[in-house]
Amino acid sequence: MRRIVGLDSVFERRPLRVVALGALGAALAWAIVTTNIMPHVAERAPGVALLLASDNPNVVFGVVDRKINPDSAAESAAIVAPPAMSRSARDRLRRRAQSALLRSPLDARGLRILGQLAPEESAAADFMELAARHSLNEYRAHHWLLQKRLSEGRYAEALLSADIVLRTRPQLMPFIAPYLERMAEDRTASIALERMLARNPPWRERFLTHLPSIVSDVRAPLRLMLALKNTAHPAGAESQRRYFEFLFERRVYDFAYYAWRQLLPPERAQNEATLYNGDFAFPPSGSPFDWLLRSGAGARIDIASASEDSRALRIDYGPGRVAPHVAMQFIKLPAGAYRMAGRYRGEIAGRRGPRWRVACVNANGSIGESEMGMGRIRDWRHFEFEFIVPDKDCAMQSARLELDARSPSEWIVAGEISYADLKIEPIGEGAPSATVGGPSGAQ
In the DSSP assignment, the letter for residue 390 is: -
Cβ neighbours of residue 263 closer than 8 Å, sequence gap 6 or more: 222, 225, 226, 229, 235, 240
Domain around 387: 292-426
Which residue, 260, 231, 228, is CA-closest to 244? 260
Residue 307 backbone dihedrals phi, psi, to 5 degrees: -160, -170
* pLDDT for res 441: 31
Q: Report DSSP letters for 106-142, one per residue.
A: T-HHHHHHHHHH-SSHHHHHHHHHHHHHH-TT-HHHH
* pLDDT for res 44: 54
* pLDDT for res 59: 83
Residue 363 forms part of a structural domain? yes
Residue 333 forms part of a structural domain? yes
Neighbour tally for 131: CB within 10 Å: 25
Residue 416 forms part of a structural domain? yes
Structurally, the chain folds into a number of domains equal to 1
* pLDDT for res 4: 47
* pLDDT for res 136: 95
Residue 303 forms part of a structural domain? yes
Residue 398 forms part of a structural domain? yes
Q: What is the C-alpha to C-alpha distance for residues 300 and 58, in angstroms, rounded to an integer?
A: 59
* pLDDT for res 171: 92
Dihedral over Cα of 263, 269, 273, 274: its sign = negative
Residue 347 forms part of a structural domain? yes
Residue 298 forms part of a structural domain? yes
What CATH number has the domain bearing residue 338?
2.60.120.260
Residue 302 forms part of a structural domain? yes
Neighbour tally for 265: CB within 10 Å: 11
Walk along the chain (443 residues) and give the pLDDT tens digit of each residue: 445 455 566 556 666 655 555 556 555 554 544 555 555 555 555 555 555 556 688 888 888 888 888 765 555 545 555 677 788 888 899 998 999 999 999 999 999 999 999 989 999 999 999 999 999 999 999 999 999 999 999 999 999 999 999 999 999 999 999 999 999 999 999 999 999 999 999 999 999 999 999 999 999 999 999 999 999 999 999 999 999 999 999 989 999 999 999 998 877 776 555 799 999 998 998 889 999 999 999 999 999 988 878 999 999 998 899 999 999 999 999 999 999 999 999 999 999 999 999 999 988 889 999 999 999 999 999 999 999 999 999 989 999 999 999 999 999 999 999 999 999 999 976 544 433 333 333 22
- State the Cα angle at 424 between 239 and 347, rounded to 5°: 90
